Amino acid sequence: MEKKLQIDKRVLVGLLITLGILVIFLLVYFFFIPRFRLSNFSSKVTIPLEAEFAFNDGDVCYGTFFHCEKVEATRSGEVDTSKLGSYTVFYNYEYESKTFLKEQIVEVVDTESPVILVSGDEPLTYCANHKGYGYEVTAQDNYDGDLTEKIISSVVGDQLIFEVEDSSGNKATLSKRAILKDDIAPSITLNGEENVFIPLNGTYVEANASATDMCDGDLTTNITVEGVVDTSVAGEYQLVYKVVDSNQNEASVTRHVYVYESSDYPSLEGKNIYLTFDDGPSAYTSKLLDILKKYNVKATFFVTDQGLTKGYDDVLKRAYDEGHTIALHSSSHNYGYIYSSVNAYFDDLSAIQAKVERITGAKSTIVRFPGGSSNTISKNYDAGCHIMSKLTKAVQAKGFRYFDWNVDSKDAGGAKTAGEVASNVINSLGNQHTYVVLQHDIKEYSVDAVETIIQFGISHGYTFQPLKMDSPRVEHSVNN
């Protein structure tokens, strides 16, 4: 017992001494060793978007418990309050070459909800599938900007509810009174042309149509087609494309298909158009031949041998090979020469006749006088000998036949665009049997009018024919 007590005493003394040293050390540490002391400082702060950020360096002093001197911080780091995010700023305190660094996290946050705006009178309208229409809804957010695309709408009871959330999770909700209603027909559009022209026994390729509906979306696959096209029988066919939406609203559109006969057949209705082109061939004649070929239309070319026709012999040959009538206009197209005497006229006519024969191998005897048989310009050159009266008789005596025109496209004066040329021709057509149309294939805009004229002709019961020696005579009255 005695021995044990002695050991305990020694341990106790040791502990007391250690404790004493510790207390002295702590006293010295807390009260006598100088150091930085920081208070009123937050290591993490949160500020709203666009608010002004102010550094807050707390209260810092340097010294012992008995005497502590205030120390100002040097601040560094930036906070952009126009952008959401986490920023770090630093406060550096210095006192007699001793430094003390504190870090502060600044969170810039968005707490403002987006704003939803609906323009349209209540009750708003919506489809059976709850898709709303007839109003405009937009959402704007202070930070994300336009959030219209992110609006989610739903129908609850008699309300249309719009909800949107910004990138920071702030939500907005708006309710409007609404009713279910769909009385708007789908919209249906033809693919391809509204008027389709196909030669007899040609192939009709169905181009179909497309349809969309405000409520049902794409309804193209629901389209039904009524009508058939029989390309073995000439005539006009109608194809009616119909579509019905989920609320029984209907829409339809019609295509006209014209199956036309070759020019070689007489018109069933007896209405014939003779397209004639003077003064070529030219740089535009190939394009014209392509159009005529597309519709299997045969026309008549009153050709010349003027400067601008040089180099187009192959085009003239092509026109002949494709079944068009190559007729004679004038070699020189020089009024002063050709109308100076009967001999001069026939010299010139023989020259163009020889040229045509050289190129096509066939002798042409169909003629058109420059200026037409009714021209009065010839009076300027014929020394009062009534040259047109003589020539109109002479050409027939020599086995020629001349043709004037009864439809003037005015492409040689007045009409300056394809549209004007086409409407001048179309507006001149009626229910007569014979229309001889005057155009010039040296004018590109006149060539560009031909397809419209042909389409109109085909769709209005006309047949296109080339002039032949026995074609109906269209002759002006002679004025000289």
Summarize as ranges the residues that interact with Zn ion (CB under 5 A). Answer: 278-279, 370
Burial class of residue 352 (count of CB atoms within 10 Å of its CB; 0-12, 13-18, 19+): buried
Min dist CB 351 to Zn ion, Å, is: 15
Rounded least distance, CB 338 to Zn ion, Å: 11
Question: What is the smallest separation between the CB atom of 420 and Zn ion, expressed in angstroms?
Answer: 19
Confirm if 402 and 368 have CB atoms less than 8 A apart.
Answer: yes
Query: In the complex with Zn ion, which residue's Cβ is closer, 281 or 370?
Result: 370
Question: Is the Cβ of residue 157 or residue 413 nearer to Zn ion in the bound state?
Answer: 413
CB of 370 to Zn ion, least distance (A): 5
Q: Is 139 or 450 the residue whose CB approaches Zn ion more closely? A: 450
CA angle (139, 140, 143) in 5-degree steps = 140
Pairing between strand 366-367 and 224-226?
unpaired
Edge-to-edge strand list for the sheet holding 136-141: 115-119, 136-141, 145-146
Q: Least distance to Zn ion from the beta carbon of 369, Å?
A: 9
Residue 256 C-beta: closest distance to Zn ion, Å: 36
**Residue 382 or 441 with smaller CB distance to Zn ion:** 441
| Closer Cβ to Zn ion, 229 or 415, answer by number | 415
Question: What is the spatial distance between Cα 249 and Cα 182, in angstroms, rounded to a whole number?
Answer: 8
Residue 114 vs 370, nearer CB to Zn ion: 370
Among residues 176 and 333, whose Cβ is nearest to Zn ion?
A: 333
Q: Which residue, 176 or 443, has its beta carbon nearer to Zn ion?
A: 443
The Cα–Cα gap between 19 and 355 comes to: 136
What's the CA gap between 41 and 44, in Å, rounded?
A: 9
Alpha helices (runs of H) in 199-341, residue ranges in sequence order: 285-294, 313-321, 335-338
Tokens of 406: 């009864």
Least Å distance between CB 279 and Zn ion? 5
Q: What share of the chain is helix, strand, coil (3-state, %, to 5)?
A: 25, 35, 40
Q: Select from 202, 198, 199, 252 the least CA-distant residue to 226.
A: 252
- Compute, in degrees rounded to 10, the torsion defined by CA atoms 379, 383, 385, 388: -30
Q: What does DSSP say about strands 59-63 and 407-408: parallel, antiparallel, or unpaired?
A: unpaired
Alpha-carbon torsion 412, 264, 327, 311, what sign?
positive
* Least distance (Å) between residue 278 CB and Zn ion: 4
